[in-house]
Amino acid sequence: MLVHEEQCVGCGACMPFCPKEAISVYGIAEIDPERCVNCGLCAAYCPNDAIEGD
């Protein structure tokens, strides 16, 4: 999954929905590729269209 930095505001809405606790948000979202299983939930729950499947 890819975070578009210019779209991400750091609102953290994606973080609680990740089943793998792969997202940390501190001003901007970062996804740990080791943990991410590409389920796509974070992208669906992002209000700012900032996450995309890769």
Partner 1 sequence: MRACIVGAGLGGLLAAANLAREGFKVEVFEKLPYPGGRFTNLPYRGYQLSTGALHMIPHAERGPLGKMLRQLGAGVEIIPSQPQAKFRISGRDYEYEELPSLFPLRDKLKVAKIIAMLKLGRATGEESYRSWLEKQIRNELVFKIADSFTGWSLSLKASEVPAKEVIAQTKNINKLGGPGIPAGGCGGVTKALVDVLQSEGAELHLKQRVKAIKQKGGAFEVLAEEKRSYDIVVSNAGPKVTAELARTILPEEYARAVSRIKGAAGIKISVACKKPMLGHSGVLFTPEAERINGINEVTNAVPELAPPGEHLLMSHQRLAEGADVKREIELGLRDLRELFPDFKKYCRVLAVQVYRNSWPVNRAPSGTHLSPATPVKGLYIVGDAVKPEGWMETDGIAAGVEEALRHIKASY
Q: Report CA Rg, the chain.
A: 9
Contacted entry of ligand SF4, partner 1, none for residue 5, CB cut-off 5 to 8 Å set by kind = none
Contacted entry of ligand SF4, partner 1, none for residue 26, CB cut-off 5 to 8 Å set by kind = partner 1
The one among 30, 32, 40, 44 contacting partner 1 by CB under 8 A: 44
Query: Least separation, in Å, of the C-beta of 33 and partner 1?
Result: 21
Strand runs labelled E in the chain: 2-3, 23-25, 29-31, 51-52
Question: Which lies closer to partner 1 via its Cβ, residue 27 or residue 54?
Answer: 27
CA distance 23 to 32: 6
